[in-house]
Chains A and B, each alone.
Chain A
Amino acid sequence: METVLSNLYIGVTLASILLLVGLGLTFTFGQMGVINMAHGEFIMAGAYVPYVLQTTLFEHARGTAVLVAFPVAFVVAGLMGALLERVVLRRMHGRPLDTLLVTFGVSLMLQQLAKDLFSAENKEVVTPTWLRGQWHLGGVTLTHTRLFVLLVVVATVAAVWVFLSRLAAGRRMRAVMQNRQLAAVSGLPTGRVDTLTFFLGSGLAGIAGVAVSLIGSIGTTTGTAYVLSAFLVVIVGGLGKLRGVVLAALFLGVINAYVEHATSSTIGKAAVFAFVILFLQLRPNGIVTFQTRGLAA
């Protein structure tokens, strides 16, 4: 029982990371159809933010630095994304698969830039004192860092949901996604909506970056480690479907945790990929199917 619970916990916390890194893609990939390989480098940029804050402005308040890092990383990564959209991706409407390759080129350049700015070795983000600790619950050790990440995820998902379903800007975004021409003739500034979409999607990657800096490494290749999982989650969830992405992250996280516990880490990972392939056989368009004539058609 104890191992069942502890693996459930591991699965859920892993899912929270998967969800967080994949969430931004529901905007850029799900809404706009851009396969943004530089998403990983936006995560990387977000991960460097708490490092920069802790070593400069917040040298003596490193705990606060982590909190401040979330909005800062959101804006930094968001601006990078908006710039990418304005300068390059704007030219590539209707060529979704080409965006994959262009943004792959961008990701190579960003990694090199990070190496030149921060040097090649990994950096350290000091865990705030208020995140050091753990609760014991029925034989399962819940660490404060993971719970904090879980909290961040829940808050972010809630914010995204409110934005998409309750705010005018979010509705405009969905309108453009579902039928660009119609939205344009209805007077929506589709260009500006695209930039905003990309800003938000990339900004979420920045937030994910701050979160992963608490549990993983901060370096030039930080993003590469997450980008593929992020796409898997979005694909399994169904493009642009928040509910689907949440479910997909949970599925993949929990499967990984249990298989890994029973076998080994490598097999656990392979099982996740195999599951994705099999799952797409059953539901080629993801958990939550897409009802419009958008990109998935």
Chain B
Amino acid sequence: MRSSARNRELVALVPVALLLTAGFAAVFAQENARLGNLSLVYGAYFLAVCLATHIYLRLRLPSADPYLFPLVALLTAFGLVMVYRIDADLARDQANWFVLGLVLFALTIHFLRDYDVLERYRYTIAAIGILLLLAPRLPGIGQQVNGAYLGVKIGPLEFQPAEFAKICLVVFLASYLREHREVLIVGARRVLGVTLPPLKHFGPMLVVWGASMFMLVFIRDLGSSLMFFAAFLALLYVATGRFSFVVIGMAMFLVGAWFFASTVPHVHDRVEIWLDPYNDPSDSGYQILQSIFAQADGGLFGQGFGQALITIPGTNDALLPAAQTDTIYSLIVNEVGLFGACAVVLIYLLIAARGFKIALLADDGFSKLLATGLTAVFAIQAFVIIGGVTRVIPLTGVTLPFISYGGSSIVANFVLLALLLLVSDRARKEAP
């Protein structure tokens, strides 16, 4: 069983490397009207890095889920091609971060072999998470981007702490809920036909709610706030089976969000733009409108790799603002069409399916909740940004995991993947 899982992983990696090679070949063909063998070189590098990771997994986590890593590699390969197509320099950064991400992936697997240790430090981890969230507002290291405080800069090191905070939050919640889920269920009271959780044990829940509101107001990060809270509700639901808790939580979030949306200008603007982007098509509504226009041009099959207009020809003005980060999904729709976009969404769904499968197989409470939480936060992040650029929800600055340009995102998501594989390895090993 062990070797068969890793063999399947190995086989699955081959088409990924081929796809990457073909993708680079398409971009080269578009840019230079001739096909060099550079795309083959890139494909070979990528395959080599993936093989090294594969061998590491073979040694360390022989029973872990065989499909997760190839699926993530596929997204990364696709992301690399898209980012390369926007700017070769950005793609070089991205490739470096990919390797750095894999290093952290390996380190996580090495040091958290026995991930139960996380439970012991859950309050420390929660504190680190809160600190990470606070960091962008700290004088000296905080960075403001587009009115939101998302980044931190310490010396030459720049990163977006929210990407890492989401993992801390999930670890804390999984651990806390594992211990308190029974009292939350048993202590529940029915008041006016609604099942309410016991107040005493609900304190930490309020803390999470407070943290989300805090992010909304002080970090002005609507997207992360939404993502955190949705992950929290997902875990709460899975742990307690109480749908009413979710309803109460959602009501609390909406009341808070509504209150702050009407008092905090940045949040208010985002919602206004979402509701009526045509009100100011050349300024505040520009990004979401251009995102939708880019999709309209994609049609069923797209315009082909490297064909989309990202800047207005002859100028440096953006036609699709933040194409390498926020609106990369719109660029994908433009270049590979509805079919290509469906494929991307399907890969996220497959990753979610494998993640939840791990949670189903795991046989201790913490592992189950940890795998559920990590998978949920990952899937919801994809939903928040794709939903943002397709105007399902207000557009916020969250990255598209493994595809968008951005070091924090790639590295943090590889740590997330490492944790999932750790849970998986144990679950499948113990499975009969």
**Do A and B form a real pair?**
no
